[in-house]
Amino acid sequence: MSVVHVRVRVAGEHYALPVEQVLEVADLGAIASVPGSPAALIGVRNLRGQVIPVIDLATLLGLTGDQPGRIVVAESGEVRAGLLVNEVLDVGELPPVSEQVESRYLLGACLVDGELVGALDVDAVLAPIAPPGGSA
C-alpha cells in the first residue's frame, strides 16, 4: 500500500512525511529561542497568531545540517510543530518501507528513483522533548 507523502531534503538526505500529517509549508520566519530547551528545538514561531515550536530535523536525526530553508508544519493529533528542512522536494506516493532503520524517529526507509528515503514517524518527532539533562 502506498500513501501520499511530502518528500523533504534534510542535510542532503531525503525524508518523507504522510501528507495527512502536513498542514502547510512556511518560511522560517522569526524564531524566538527558548533558553533551557534541547538543541533540537530551535525555538517558537508565531504562525498567524499560533505559537508553534520549531524542531530542527537535522539535529533530531543526528545529522549536520546545512542552510535551513523552510518549515513543514506537521501535526500529530492535537500537537503541532514546525519541522525545519532544507527544501521541500515534492508530493507523491511513497512505496511501502523496505529497509529497517535504527532510529526512533523513522518508521523505515525505501527507495524512490534510486534515492533512499526515510519515512518519518511524525508522532515520535512531535512527542514531548525531554529537557537537556532530563532522565528521559
Partner 1 sequence: MSASDEEIHALVRQEAGDCLQRMEANLMALESGEGGSAEIDAILRDAHSIKGSSAMIGWQEPATLASAIEDRMERARETGSLPNKAVDPLLRAVDALRRAVNGEEGVAAPLVEELAALGVEAGDEGADSPAGRGAPPRVEAAARAAGSAAAQAPTIRIDAAKVDRMLDAVGETVLYHRRLEHTLEGSRQEGRQVSEELDMGERLLGDLQDSVVQMRTLPLSMITSPFPRAIRDLASEEGKEAELTVSGAETQLDRAILEGISETIVHLLRNAVAHGIETPEEREAAGKPRLGRIDLRAHQRGGMVAIEVADDGKGVSAEILARAEQVGSLAEVLSETGFSTAGEVTEVAGRGVGLDAVKRSVESLGGGLEVQSEPGKGTEVTLLLPLTLALMRVLLFELGEQPFGLPMTSVGRVVAVTDTTSLGTRPSVEIDGQVVRLSHLAELAGSGWKVPERSPAIVVESLGRRLAVLCDELIGEEEVVIKSLGAVLAGVPGYLGAAILGDGRIALVLDPNHLMRAPKGKMAVDQPEDTTERPAGQVLVVDDQFSARELQRSILETAGYRVEVARDGREALQRIGEITGLDLVMTDVQMPEMDGFELLEAIRADEVHSSLPVVVVTTLGDEASRKRGAEAGADAYIVKNEFDQEALLETIERLVGR
34 DSSP β-pair partners: none
C-alpha cell at 101: 532503520
Q: Shortest distance, CB of residue 129 to partner 1, whole angstroms?
A: 6
* Binds partner 1 (CB under 8 A): choice among 41, 73, 119, 122: 41
Pick the closer one to partner 1 by CB: 24 or 115: 24
Q: Shortest distance, CB of residue 71 to partner 1, whole angstroms?
A: 14
Pick the closer one to partner 1 by CB: 33 or 98: 33
Q: Shortest distance, CB of residue 43 to partner 1, whole angstroms?
A: 8
Give the residue among 11, 25, 112 at the shortest CA–CA distance from 59: 11
Contact between 130 and partner 1 (CB under 8 A)? yes
Contact between 78 and partner 1 (CB under 8 A)? yes
